[in-house]
Amino acid sequence: MPEIHSLQLQPIIDRALEEDWGNGDWTTDLCVQKGTKAHASIIAKKPTLASCLEIAQAVFFRVDPGLNIKLRAKNGDPVGEKTLLMEIEGEARSILKAERVALNFLCRMCGVSHMTSRYVAKLKGFKAKLLDTRKTSPGLRLLEKWATSIGGARNHRLCLTDGVLVKENHIRAAGSITNAVNRLLESLPPTLKIEVEASTLDEVHEALDAGADLILLDNMSISEMKLAVRTVRGRVLLEASGNITLDNIADVAETGVDFISSSAIIHSAPWADLSLLFTVP
Amino acid sequence: MPEIHSLQLQPIIDRALEEDWGNGDWTTDLCVQKGTKAHASIIAKKPTLASCLEIAQAVFFRVDPGLNIKLRAKNGDPVGEKTLLMEIEGEARSILKAERVALNFLCRMCGVSHMTSRYVAKLKGFKAKLLDTRKTSPGLRLLEKWATSIGGARNHRLCLTDGVLVKENHIRAAGSITNAVNRLLESLPPTLKIEVEASTLDEVHEALDAGADLILLDNMSISEMKLAVRTVRGRVLLEASGNITLDNIADVAETGVDFISSSAIIHSAPWADLSLLFTVP
Amino acid sequence: MPEIHSLQLQPIIDRALEEDWGNGDWTTDLCVQKGTKAHASIIAKKPTLASCLEIAQAVFFRVDPGLNIKLRAKNGDPVGEKTLLMEIEGEARSILKAERVALNFLCRMCGVSHMTSRYVAKLKGFKAKLLDTRKTSPGLRLLEKWATSIGGARNHRLCLTDGVLVKENHIRAAGSITNAVNRLLESLPPTLKIEVEASTLDEVHEALDAGADLILLDNMSISEMKLAVRTVRGRVLLEASGNITLDNIADVAETGVDFISSSAIIHSAPWADLSLLFTVP
Amino acid sequence: MPEIHSLQLQPIIDRALEEDWGNGDWTTDLCVQKGTKAHASIIAKKPTLASCLEIAQAVFFRVDPGLNIKLRAKNGDPVGEKTLLMEIEGEARSILKAERVALNFLCRMCGVSHMTSRYVAKLKGFKAKLLDTRKTSPGLRLLEKWATSIGGARNHRLCLTDGVLVKENHIRAAGSITNAVNRLLESLPPTLKIEVEASTLDEVHEALDAGADLILLDNMSISEMKLAVRTVRGRVLLEASGNITLDNIADVAETGVDFISSSAIIHSAPWADLSLLFTVP
Amino acid sequence: MPEIHSLQLQPIIDRALEEDWGNGDWTTDLCVQKGTKAHASIIAKKPTLASCLEIAQAVFFRVDPGLNIKLRAKNGDPVGEKTLLMEIEGEARSILKAERVALNFLCRMCGVSHMTSRYVAKLKGFKAKLLDTRKTSPGLRLLEKWATSIGGARNHRLCLTDGVLVKENHIRAAGSITNAVNRLLESLPPTLKIEVEASTLDEVHEALDAGADLILLDNMSISEMKLAVRTVRGRVLLEASGNITLDNIADVAETGVDFISSSAIIHSAPWADLSLLFTVP
Amino acid sequence: MPEIHSLQLQPIIDRALEEDWGNGDWTTDLCVQKGTKAHASIIAKKPTLASCLEIAQAVFFRVDPGLNIKLRAKNGDPVGEKTLLMEIEGEARSILKAERVALNFLCRMCGVSHMTSRYVAKLKGFKAKLLDTRKTSPGLRLLEKWATSIGGARNHRLCLTDGVLVKENHIRAAGSITNAVNRLLESLPPTLKIEVEASTLDEVHEALDAGADLILLDNMSISEMKLAVRTVRGRVLLEASGNITLDNIADVAETGVDFISSSAIIHSAPWADLSLLFTVP
């Protein structure tokens, strides 16, 4: 992943704070006196993967640049039960107003990275690389793709601009794979490859002949994928896609495909179980 | 839930489209000729609960107000395998550019509503109502809370402005439950109740004496909760919270609490499995 | 009032500066040479109440973070004629460009706080608390409500989310007070109370029976209000509203109501008379 | 005033609605069923001047383009007690959600126009024209200046870009009136006049000699202003400013100045007393 | 180019109008009475290429959706002296307020397309395709790239996301071409090609060996480019870049490169000479 | 020009960066390791005029406030071949991500200032001052007008608010020059002059009689302009406009007009030829 610049991250954080605060935090500002200092620790209550700690940090700093924050883990670290991830010190009101939003980001991202790392572990020893997809939470895609890359996946395109993927619906609207690829070859910037979705071996052949650089094997059986690999003989890259699970991913990798993509690593990843411990000295 | 007005929804949709499109959709605009018409059906591939169909509809209309859209299910309808949820007809390019974003919203919201409805079903016959929490995807809270209400839950506060919840960390920063509640009683708008988190019976007593309107029983055992119910004798409302699962929710309800809150109905709800079928006549 | 965070205040200030500057300040930038230093004092020319000084300060800092600013009064201080409120030192151009906007905020807010404090003074010795309303200058509500709280009022709800007030028009649209309250009891978050507007004793009874937590006595006579207080016997809170003036507020308080709300403290408060004295050493 | 285009008005309205709604209107959406129709009339309860009705109309349309709205008065019409200004028909929920914001704008603008018209009436028969100033509610300047023009005033500059006014503080920072005007003559666009503030006759002479097009007589006595008029003999325009009241404005006009400016017509104008009557057929 | 959606175009138009209007158009709104109707024709006074007419149209519609607009040319049409491009009919005020902004866009875009078409004409009969670059007017890139594509060029990447171009400075920072390409091969989405800038034949060899898909020949002489073409033998695509002029482009094409890129087609294209003729019937 | 405040500049820079980055810079972030330091020099490859260096500086700082930047020229300096304009030191990634945007601004602004200075040089010894116009790149007007003022021109109005120019089309819509000017005299703020476009001597007479302060001589011949100057005898200012070139501008000046306006200094100014040299120590 390219770095997420603060110019990209800030508006996402601001919207999350605005959404959570509404017109103000009655509880904190009425109960807690200004000037009260506190210390907070963010702890993983169950095993997970440390991820995107800088987002949580940025939330706290956005609320109060005077907070003193120390990251106690590195992105990509597997963390066990009761592991300290981050410490925050300073104005109690600030910590309390940032807490929920910071944790909502962090629980989500650690969850995605953790799930990704479990899939990646299954690919050990195989050529195939894990890819993510565009099935992401609206508004959080760059963050979730950062989380998959921390978990060990390679990113597929970030958006519709940095990759061409001719899917079944495009093929129908274009008339055929050949039509679609021809039109792309005419006008596409030379910096982009052409990927075509194929669900049969015939389509693999057509894509190959039309000039695709990459073929996505959509929901094929293991034996079909093996045939596709043999057919293609390295002339284009192959991506397997569709219903990839922790149980079947190794079998898919064994077919010899170059990439395996999974959307479940994002949309089915449960939140990490983190909490913020708070002490007033 | 109050209705989500288009003034609130539009910016969320615009950001999702902007995020997905980047600087433009090379695939669709190069492969598919302007003027090509298509028909699309959104289908549930596995059982779920129809939810927030208007969001998907608004995505399609935002991309192309000329599309012809028909909702084929109502929010809250349980839907079986292969059920039609929505039909869209018109410019093929428009449908293809809106597809992913519309589905990302819809899969998420149906997933949340479906999970919620499974919890709610367990409360049948009990007084207790299911509540959601503030553990939501950053930027999508109103939508996810709409989804829980479609699934049958009652909403807890939408943000920090429409509810006071004095949590453990506030109590530490304020010195005591009594301090915190006293300060609230002095300045809080008379339109808001005061809810206090208690993790022991002593704290329940303190909250009661201080003047709380609502007490959240935090991670108490079943027997503690029963004691709390007996202690309170209806003078304040009681909300049970912490590690509520489909397995234990009925037992919790049986204690006689008024509300049971769960964050899992949002953050651990897997996406509904929906897809868009596309035909070019 | 909850603190107004700079994330909430900044856009209000930016719009005010943008509005005042248009495409640039021809006068200052052509007449005054860069590097000219100046000292400025903000002075109350007539008695008022010091209020929201931080907003004026934030305006100056937004224009030039290099200015040196000293607050010479505290929010809530009554100030006499010719009292110094604030000193600013630094680049002359910056002070001149910020002056009008800073004063526009400050004159308005001191004016509101001053007027509020005059109403509050009349309530000395009574149980009743003064409340503000939603009749505020569009775009400036949080600031004006901060000003009323500095003036000694308690805030009523900030917006439509943090309070329920069933007004006459809602009752008509719902059919009856009972209908309206029943629907609220079914779906409202448990963190919110229900306030109902009543203009007759019959309506007070109906609201009470329906389950209201708070009743607003709308434009009732003193004797009606007394009857309402007697009727209700502390079971719900009572708010008197409608044509409250400095002359009649003590009589209203004497009826025994819990709250008295006034919109005049905001919309009829004249600006404080402040000016900025400027010296170039 | 130039017309206020919807591109300029829309964001002001949107912010006002967002501010008033917070995260949603619990009362209306829970009490009033979707589909309930209503009729509303906006009535002046006390005499005022009809003004900026289009802003209120735009608020209602922004909330619901399906409302049916009829303006029953024209901007600039003096209206007596119990006069109908506007009628709105349609979805009850929409009317109730727009009501407060629409009235907040309208009460403010009618109030400003009304106050302005009272000052203007005093100038009948005199050459002098009434001008407004930059002392306006932050964020509402264009609207308030529209209101003064409806009330019969001529606008002074809208912002720092469309007029040059060398004030006392600029003179100090520039060293002298002559310095300031010389620098302006060197670089100012030829489309702008130069106005200089003078508080003594000596300053009037200096401004005249330096090449000012317009001189603001700041807080001068009636006799000083008369002298200034005689001195200047029509070579430049004269604007009287400072503590103009309904009582003294005719005396000021009698001195022969060309313009008289007042900030009180905006910042000391009390709100018009309007209300919305609501019936459900 | 992918289509520019109104969601992308609208904010660009709004900013241009805001910039041109400031706080309002004194001239038009004071001189021209509301309701005056007019007819306007946009005419090319000198030969150019019709381009991006939809942007001008969108400006007029944004100012007044009630205008009646007819496009009288098609994007890509060469137009001679005194050719009609567009007609607009309706409210005179609206046409006058939109005129300058609409023409500013149109003169720029027709200018770019026209210049591009002159370069493209020189490539007739050669394999080489003309490419644009990222040297564009800040804020107008998509529009200017639309204009080059209308003029007959192929777009190079739109932004830093849809293409990888390892330039000299990247190579220095990475240590070597080989380092840079190796890091890309490890993490880049499989949808993107790798382009490497080379200014010597040695660098061409290194890029080829490292695994580049595309090589940019930077400021090479004709003979060096010929050698590069011979060396590469079609294994990667070659792009010639640097000081391409109308005079030398055919010679460059003759070397056998696949692409020739020029920034001059954008940044050195003079505006088309268009004007708006206006009649009031 | 009034100073361009960072509040005005920041959004222009942010949009330019957002446009250039899309969703991220794959090349830089994958090739260049975090922590790699570099030194960069911005050099003029051909003679130009140093201009708006602060904009380029602001771009670098926006990307990375930790960069160390030294300006090596002053705005308005004529610079010869191979002249150093600016040095930047720090994180290599930051320099590479800011480079293109910073240069796009700088090449444009130096180009405009350089072209302007060539026109201004022709006016040496004449009374006439060079003016710019509203024919500017959409979104970049303030910057381009800053560049013309650095090049030695006087600015004409920045937008439609800070100047009145009654053009031919306004005259048609108003019926006559006299009508237009009369309406302006009735309502225009006294801070603004009235400029009228005239293309015949008759129109000059009419404008003069109507009360114009300034007359624009539109596309008149040299002899007509001389007549106009003689006619007007200094009672109003005269601006010559239309097809001003480097070749004819001295002849126009010789007629005795006060101002000569040119749009070519902006829209036909080619970019300065600048580049960024980059070394990794």
Q: Say yes or no for a CB contact (<8 Å) between F24 and A1.
A: yes
Min distance E2 CA to chain B CA atoms (Å):
5
Q: Say yes or no for a CB contact (<8 Å) between B173 and A268.
A: no
State the pairing for strand pair A83-91/A68-71.
antiparallel
Q: How far apart are CA B257 and CA B255, in angstroms?
A: 6
Min distance F205 CA to chain E CA atoms (Å):
19
Which of E154, E158, E187 shows the shortest C-beta gap to A161? E158
Task: Give A25-66 pLDDT, tens digit per residue.
Answer: 999 999 999 999 999 999 999 999 999 999 999 999 999 999
F interface residues, B as partner, C-beta within 8 Å: 19, 22-23
pTM of the predicted model, to two decimals? 0.97
Query: Order of strands, edge to edge, in the sheet holding A237-241?
Result: A129-131, A259-261, A237-241, A214-218, A194-198, A164-166
Statement: residue E69 has pLDDT above 90:
yes
Q: Show residues of chain C in contact with D55, CB under 8 Å.
A: none
> Which residue of chain A comes nearest to D23, CA vs CA?
A22
Interior/surface letters B170-183, b for 16+ CB within 10 angstroms, e for the rest: bbbbbeebebbbeb
Interior/surface letters E4-22, b for 16+ CB within 10 angstroms, e for the rest: bbbebbeebbebbbbbbbb
Q: Say yes or no for a CB contact (<8 Å) between E1 and B24.
A: yes
Task: Give F180-197 pLDDT, tens digit per residue.
Answer: 999 999 999 999 999 999
Q: Say yes or no for a CB contact (<8 Å) between C158 and D22.
A: yes
3-class state of residue A208 by DSSP: helix
Dihedral over alpha carbons E67, E70, E73, E75 (to 10 degrees): 60
- Total residue length of chain B: 281
Which of F2, F131, F192 shows the shortest C-beta gap to D193? F192
D-E CB pairs within 8 A amount to: 34
B interface residues, D as partner, C-beta within 8 Å: 1-5, 7-8, 142, 158-159, 161-162
Q: How far apart are CA E148 and CA E110, in angstroms?
A: 10
Q: Say yes or no for a CB contact (<8 Å) between C21 and D160.
A: yes
Which of A140, A169, A173 shows the shortest C-beta gap to B139? A140
CB-CB contact of C96 with C24 (8 Å): no
Q: Say yes or no for a CB contact (<8 Å) between F156 and D189.
A: yes
Min distance A159 CA to chain C CA atoms (Å):
30
Choose, from E135, E141, E157, E226, the residue flagged as catalytic: E135
Min distance B167 CA to chain C CA atoms (Å):
14
Q: Say yes or no for a CB contact (<8 Å) between B2 and D23.
A: yes
State the alpha helices, DSSP H only, in E123-245.
141-150, 168-174, 177-187, 201-210, 222-232
Statement: residue F208 has pLDDT above 90:
yes
Q: How far apart are CA D49 and CA D150, in angstroms?
A: 9
- With cut-offs at 50, 70 and 90, classify the pLDDT of residue B281: confident
> Which residue of chain F comes nearest to D189, CA vs CA?
F156
Which of D32, D160, D168 shows the shortest C-beta gap to C174? D32
The DSSP symbol for C154 reads: B
Catalytic residue ranges of A: 100, 135, 167, 197, 218
Min distance E134 CA to chain C CA atoms (Å):
29
Task: Supply C139's token pair.
Answer: 């775009």
Which of E7, E158, E159 shows the shortest C-beta gap to B14? E7
- Is position E14 annotated as part of the catalytic site? no
B-D CB pairs within 8 A amount to: 34
Q: What pLDDT was estimated at residue B195?
A: 98
C interface residues, A as partner, C-beta within 8 Å: 1-5, 7-8, 142, 158-159, 161-162
Q: What pLDDT was estimated at residue E281?
A: 84
State the pairing for strand pair E259-261/E129-131.
parallel
Statement: residue A281 has pLDDT above 90:
no
- With cut-offs at 50, 70 and 90, classify the pLDDT of residue E3: very high
Statement: residue B259 has pLDDT above 90:
yes
> Which residue of chain D comes nearest to E98, CA vs CA?
D5
Which of C22, C160, C271 shows the shortest C-beta gap to D162? C22
Q: How far apart are CA F240 and CA F130, in angstroms?
A: 10
Which of D26, D108, D139 shows the shortest C-beta gap to C12? D139
> Which residue of chain D comes nearest to C164, CA vs CA?
D27
The DSSP symbol for F153 reads: P
E interface residues, D as partner, C-beta within 8 Å: 14, 17-18, 21-26, 28-30, 34, 62-63, 93, 97
Q: Which chains would you list as touching F if contact means 3+ CB atom pairs under 8 Å?
A: A, B, C, D, E
Statement: residue F117 has pLDDT above 90:
yes
Q: Which chains would you list as touching B if contact means 3+ CB atom pairs under 8 Å?
A: A, C, D, E, F
> Which residue of chain A comes nearest to E154, CA vs CA?
A187
ipTM value:
0.97
Q: Say yes or no for a CB contact (<8 Å) between E158 and F22.
A: yes
Statement: residue E90 has pLDDT above 90:
yes
- With cut-offs at 50, 70 and 90, classify the pLDDT of residue F273: very high
Min distance D123 CA to chain C CA atoms (Å):
24
Q: Show residues of chain A in contact with C4, CB under 8 Å.
A: 24
Task: Give D15-29 pLDDT, tens digit per residue.
Answer: 999 999 999 999 999
Sort C202 into a burial class: Cβ within 10 Å, 0-12 / 13-18 / 19+. exposed
A-F CB pairs within 8 A amount to: 34
Q: Say yes or no for a CB contact (<8 Å) between B160 and A107.
A: no
Sort A33 into a burial class: Cβ within 10 Å, 0-12 / 13-18 / 19+. middle
Task: Give B34-73 pLDDT, tens digit per residue.
Answer: 999 999 999 999 999 999 999 999 999 999 999 999 999 9
Q: Which chains would you list as touching A if contact means 3+ CB atom pairs under 8 Å?
A: B, C, D, E, F
CB-CB contact of A163 with A192 (8 Å): yes
Statement: residue A202 has pLDDT above 90:
yes
Q: Which chains would you list as touching C if contact means 3+ CB atom pairs under 8 Å?
A: A, B, D, E, F
> Which residue of chain A comes nearest to C160, CA vs CA?
A23
State the alpha helices, DSSP H only, in A41-140.
53-63, 92-122
Q: Say yes or no for a CB contact (<8 Å) between F158 and C23.
A: yes
Q: What pLDDT was estimated at residue D281?
A: 84
Mean pLDDT by 10 residues, chain C (281 residues): 96 98 98 97 98 98 98 97 97 98 98 98 98 98 98 98 97 97 97 98 98 97 97 96 96 98 95 95 84
Q: Tell which residue, C48, C32, C30, C157, has the closest CA to residue C103.
A: C48
Helix axis angle for C6-21 and C92-122, nearest 10°, is 120
Q: Which domains does chain E have, with CATH numbers?
A: 6-114+269-279 (3.90.1170.20), 121-267 (3.20.20.70)
